[in-house]
Every structure is written in C-alpha cells, then in structure tokens.
Amino acid sequence: MRAEVTVRNAGLLFLLRGLALAGGVLYAALVPRSMGPEAYGAFALVTSLSVWFELASGLGLTQVISRETPLLQRMEGPSGLGRFFGSLLTLRLASGLVASVAFFLFTRLWLQEIDVWVLAAVAATVVIQGVGATVYSFFLGLNQAARWGANDVLSRWVPIGFLVVGYRLSGLPGACLGLLVAELIIAFVALFWARSHLSWEGLRTGWSRLIPYLRFALGFYVSALILAVFQRSGEPLVRLFTGDYVQVAYFGLAASAITAADTVIPQVTSAFAPFLTTLQALGDPDRVARWAERLVRWLGILGVVAIAGAFLMGSDLVLVVLGEDFAPVSVYLAILALTLIPQAVSSVSRMLAVVYVRPGEVVRASILRLALLWILGPVLLLRLGGIGACFAVLAATTGYAIALAWRMRRAVSYPFQRWGMALALGGIFVPLIWLRSDWWINAGLFALFLATYAGLLLALRLVGVDEVKAALQVLRRRPESRLAETPSPF
C-alpha cells in the first residue's frame, strides 16, 4: 500500500532525525569549542556562503525527481530511470563546477582576511555536496525517503572528526580540508546505494530530453535559490553590520541548532509528495486536504514542544554543550525556535505547490520573505546587534508562511482550527519561563509541560488515541510496493 510505504518512510525519517540531532549535539560540543568563537565565526560564514552557490547549482532537480520518478518508474521501467538519473547527475556535475569557481572568486574578493586555502577547500565541497545531494534525491523519488534522509545524518556525523583533527593539525585550512574529505565519503555512500540505478549510458545521455522537466523545475529552482539566500543571509548580515566574527558565531550556532530541528519538517512533508501526487492524479482532493491538515497539526505540535525546550532548558544545554564562551547563544536559540511554527505551515504549503504544480506561488512568497529579511535585518541589527537578526528571521518566516498558505488555498483548502488550538494550548505554559532556576528545576518544568500538554491534546481530541495506534501499526508493517490504495485510518 503506497500510503503505508509513505508513512513508514516518514516514521523512519523521524528516527533518522534523532540520529542527526545527536550528531548535531556532538558537533556543537567539539567543533566550536576546539576553534573558539572568532575562528568558528569565520568558518560559519564561509560555509554559509557556500550553501548559496551549492543550491544555485541545484537547478530545482529535487522537485523534478520527487514528482517525475514515480511516473517514469511505471511507464519506462528501470532502463528509463537509469537514463533519466544519469542525465540529471551529469547536468548537476557541470553546474556544480561553475558554482564552485563562482564561490571562490566571490569570497576571495570579499573575505580577503581569510586564508586562500580555506576558500579553495570549501569551493571544492560545493561540487561534491551538489552531486551527493542529487543522488540522495533519487531515493526520495523512489519512495525511499529514509535513504534520502540518511544524507542529513551522515552530514552531521561524518565531518566531526575530520574537522577537529584538521583544525588541530593546521588551523582553519586543515579543518576545511577535513570537511572536503568528509563530503567525499558522504557522496560515495550515495553513489554506492544508487549503483543499480546508474549506468554509463545514462551519464552519456544528452540533456535535450531534460528540457521539459527543467521548465517545470524553473519556478522551484528560483524559489530554492531565494530560500538559500534567505537561510544563509544571517551570518553575512551580522558580519556586514557588526563586523564581529564572535556575533557571527553566536548567530550561526543558534541557526544551526534550529536547522537541525526544523529539517525534519520539510523532509517529512517532502516524503508525502509522491503519495499525494498520486491522490491528486486520481482526482481525490479531499484526501489530499485531510493529509495536509494532519501534517500541519502534528508538525505544529512538535514545534510547540521544541520551543518549550528552548525556552526552559536552552541555557542549560548551551552551557553543557558549548561552554561559557558561547553562553549568549541561548538567547539567539530561544528566538529562532519560534520560527518552527510558521515553518510547519510553509513546508506543507510548499509540498502542495509541488503536487499541484504551482511553482509561481512559492517564488512570490519566497521573494516576500527575502525582502522582509533584508529590510528588517539591517534596522534590527543596528539597534540590537546579532539578536536583531533573529527577530528579522522570525518576522520574515512568518510572513512567508502566511503568504504561501493564502495563495495555495485556491488549489487545495484545509482547516487550521485544530492546529491553532494546539498552538494556543502551548501558550498556556508561558508562565513557566518565570519559574526557571537550576538545571534540575528547569528539567522538571519541561517534564511537567510535556505531561500536561500531552494530556490536554488527548482530552481535547487534538491527538486521537486511535490515530496514534494506527500510525504505530503502519510503521511496524513491512512496506509494500503496490500502488493500489486501500481504506486507511489516515
């Protein structure tokens, strides 16, 4: 049953997110400590800028893969998929090389105080990351979202040792060379898993057959590029308006922590894209709407839990993981945690835009979000320092979610009442912030929140016991490859 396969993969993504979060904690405990605030600030800025160029070379291929692979698999079989994947991979390699050169030239002109070997090593990772990300995206299209999500887990764990050892041996250049080695390993794993779907014939296939797909991807490519600029504008803005690499480090660490948490949101929603595309093709918009409402509600609840953890225990965790030198990160973290709520709405809306082929809606909302950040960011940075960037990101993320959901209502409309009730219940616990004290009291407050919040959700039937049981039963079953649909409690 395709629904059960999809839900099972989504469940596995949650488990993988746990591993990724653990890797993120270990990374934060070792890498920033070993470098110190100023050196880590420089590293965070350079790697953030590299993401702009890596995603610029992406050409919107992930959306093409997630939508077209199920159809090609049914119509052309393995040989057609091999030619399709090979053509995309060759195109991605070429665009990655162009992006790598552009990144090196840009950073060499702007960041002249940073060692040229740092910039060269990170430039090389732009190509490697791009190829690896494309191969991992193949698994999303094959409805193997767990393997797709493994990319994030490996990206959290594999570089840690190389970064720490590289920095100890040769400072920041050594750390960046270590990062390059780690990215090569991660890309090799993807190629090994995908070897049965790749062939030399596919890699040599001309790009002309991709033109119709690239036309479809154009809107999503533009929105992804705008998203990359948005997500990685914080560090450059802080550098431009404060000139302080320490504040860059504080913002970068908080943003990385939130990214580690909120990556699960677009991953889970993207895992449902092939399934909902099938429902849409079968002319069943009501089921699409019901799935969308459930996704928003459940992701909103997870966001409330994460926000409570950041406000009640964030400062304790920062001290344990990062140490006294990075104590101000907890304030940045608490503010950025609030972005998880609008992120749930915007991720579901973006996934529906893929299903209903509405890339223009995503582009318009993305432009609004970026404009809000660049307009509010400088003003708030000049008044509040690095923390101002956090408030600018929150305002821009909220505006994006509202605009995109409002525009997508014309394609598919679903209710937000139960999602809003779940958020309102979380607001009841705001007074707990003023009871914070020692770490053990804060942990007790968080445990009290979890127990009470869960009880209220069940009592008000915002989370149904039958729904939870059905989900667990689905996750325990062996996934089936059949496309046929059967009645489901979901």
CA dist 115 to 2, 120, 164, 269, 420, Å?
51, 9, 18, 40, 50
- Segment 12-28 shows an average pLDDT of 74
* Geometric angle at alpha carbon 222, from 151 and 303, rounded to 5°: 50
| pTM tops 0.85 | no
Of 62, 369, 404, the closest CA to residue 217 belongs to 62
Amino acid 478: pLDDT: 39
Q: Phi and psi at residue 429, in whole multiples of 5°?
A: -90, 5
pLDDT in tens, 247-261: 999 998 898 888 766
Amino acid 476: pLDDT: 43
Q: Which two tokens stand for residue 399?
A: 């505006």
- Give the mean pLDDT of the chain: 81
Contact 242, 320 (CB under 8 A): no
Instruction: Look at residue 456 and tell me whether its pLDDT is greater than 70.
Output: yes
Answer with the residue of higher pLDDT: 147 or 405: 405
- Segment 157-167 shows an average pLDDT of 93
Contact 140, 65 (CB under 8 A): yes
Distance CA 355, CA 63 (A): 10
pLDDT in tens, 373-424: 999 999 999 999 889 999 999 999 999 999 999 988 877 778 888 889 999 9
Spell out the alpha helix ranges (H) of 116-144: 116-141
Kindly report which listed range (120-129, 157-166, 402-411) carries the lowest average pLDDT score: 402-411
Distance CA 310, CA 334 (A): 5
pLDDT band at 174 (very low <50, low <70, confident <90, very high): very high
Amino acid 471: pLDDT: 43
Q: Which H or E run includes 260?
A: helix 245-262
Tell me which amino acid residue 341 is.
I
CA dist 473 to 8, 151, 225, Å?
10, 27, 39
Of 258, 250, 229, 308, the closest CA to residue 53 belongs to 229
Amino acid 220: pLDDT: 64
Distance CA 245, CA 40 (A): 8
pLDDT in tens, 202-238: 555 555 566 666 666 666 677 667 777 887 788 899 9
Distance CA 178, CA 158 (A): 10
Amino acid 475: pLDDT: 37
Distance CA 168, CA 161 (A): 11
Instruction: Tell me the Cα Rg of the chain.
Output: 22
- Segment 95-114 shows an average pLDDT of 91
- Segment 431-454 shows an average pLDDT of 92
Q: Residue 63: left (phi > 0), alpha (psi -120 to 50), or beta?
A: alpha
Tell me which amino acid residue 286 is.
D
Distance CA 198, CA 217 (A): 22
Contact 382, 388 (CB under 8 A): yes
CB atoms within 10 A of CB 94: 12
